[in-house]
Amino acid sequence: MRDKLGLKELVAIGIGSMIGGGIFSVMGVADEIAGHATVLVFVIGGIIALFAGYNYAKLALAYKVDGASYIYLKYAFPKTPAIAAITGWSVIVGYIGTLALYAYTFGSYGAAMLGYADNYLVRSLLAFGILTLFLWINLLGIKEMGESEDVIVFFKVAIMMTMGIIGLFYLNPSHFQPLFDKSFSGVLLSAALVFVAFEGFQLITNSVAETENPDRNTPLSIYLSIIIVTLIYVVLAIAVIGILTPQEIKAAKEYAIAEALKPILGEWGFVLASIAAMLATSSAINGTLFGASRMMADIAKDGIFPSILSYKNAKTIPSHALLAMYVLATLFVLYGSLDSIIAFSSMTFLLVSLAVAIANTKLYRQTNSSLIIILLSITLMSITVSLMIYYLFENEPKTLFDIAMIYGLIIVSFTFYYILQRKRLKR
């Protein structure tokens, strides 16, 4: 009998994939835009994620196959296969980008702890090492991957909750007054920007074919993981805003959580935050490699990627897809400039979540979904995407241009590959 993933493993995959490196950098960005109301930013982000999760859960139960968003769009738009195909390519590139981000963050924190903060070689070796470790674990089998994720996520959540709870005893109430010191629109804009910190619950649906009792465990694990992650983020946000002044948060924008612990624990605070960041990125790499490789293999089955990537070994592990993602993520890490890839990944997962919600409107009878909830999710996702584009246009036009270029390259590459495939089939 093949190994199956239970509720505990699925929740670990969801939490592990969501709490990656993102939360350690978005806290400062959120405070800069939302001010004292930053805590609400993560509450709203969690609500948006729950609405998005509803569509994934319903579609996963209706179509119990790996492949997630690609499969759902394929069923929703059978006469326009290019929609699902281009989405599939975009999502895979997005996952490769997030893998690179997680490995890069792991390497950066690890190098800093070892006293080599600005050493490119040390950072790159650590990033390469962590990617290699979890490639090996994923190649071992589903049980080994699930058990390792359980352990890492347990320690990660314990450390992050400890950091947040310690911080609650050192709050300055004046840091929360007035609540809306900037604007409510700033809160909504920040919620759009921090959505990347909730990206990852989708990976649960990529393993639905290998899930024990999926009718119960798939939706429950999606909702539980989003709620648990939201609570962790809220506690951390209260601690950061309550301890640091806006000026201190701005000065340590990318390390706001570590900076918040310094007045309490000194240098040990930085070490604790660094360990949490390394555990966070480790479990995110593990979960992303697991879910995204299965999606790549399923897409390859349809000829959208080279057929060699669809191979699964005797343990049903997509070993070729795992190796492909590992190699490409390693190249991204070595390239070093990840800003555009990070922004592209955020935008991609926002747009894909919106596309999945639209797909569910077409399939709501088959998925037994509430049309009201679907329409609410589409409204929320549309606002979120619009705010993200607006922010990039106003503040980072070059990044927006880079994202457009990446989408353009994906469309051109897919078109070229599709034409070659058609020519081969005609021979």
Domain ranges, ordered by start, for the chain? 7-390
Q: Under CATH, which number does the domain 7-390 receive?
A: 1.20.1740.10
Give pLDDT, residue 224. Answer: 95
Cα(183)–Cα(7) distance, rounded to whole angstroms?
A: 40
Give pLDDT, residue 226. Answer: 95
Residue 67 region, left (φ>0) first, then alpha (ψ -120 to 50), else beta? Answer: left
Sign for the CA dihedral angle at 294, 300, 301, 302 comes to positive
- Tokens of residue 76, six digits: 């929703």
Give pLDDT, residue 1. Answer: 42
Residue-by-residue pLDDT tens, the chain, 427 positions: 456 778 888 888 888 778 876 676 677 777 778 878 888 999 999 999 999 999 999 998 888 776 678 888 888 888 887 888 888 888 888 888 888 888 888 888 788 778 887 788 888 899 999 999 999 988 887 777 667 777 777 887 787 788 778 878 877 787 787 777 777 777 888 888 788 788 888 878 877 777 888 888 889 999 999 999 999 889 888 888 888 777 777 766 556 676 777 777 777 877 887 888 888 888 888 888 888 888 888 888 877 888 888 888 887 888 999 999 999 888 888 765 556 666 677 788 888 889 999 999 999 999 999 999 999 999 988 988 888 888 888 888 888 888 888 888 888 877 877 777 666 666 6
Q: 307: which residues sit within 8 A by CB, 6+ positions away? A: 300, 301
Give pLDDT, residue 256. Answer: 66
Give pLDDT, residue 56. Answer: 92
In angstroms and rounded to an integer, the radius of gyration of the C-alpha atoms of the chain is 21
pTM of the entire predicted model:
0.82
The DSSP output letter for 110 is: H
The answer to whether the beta carbons of residues 145 and 290 sit under 8 Å apart is yes
Give pLDDT, residue 404. Answer: 87
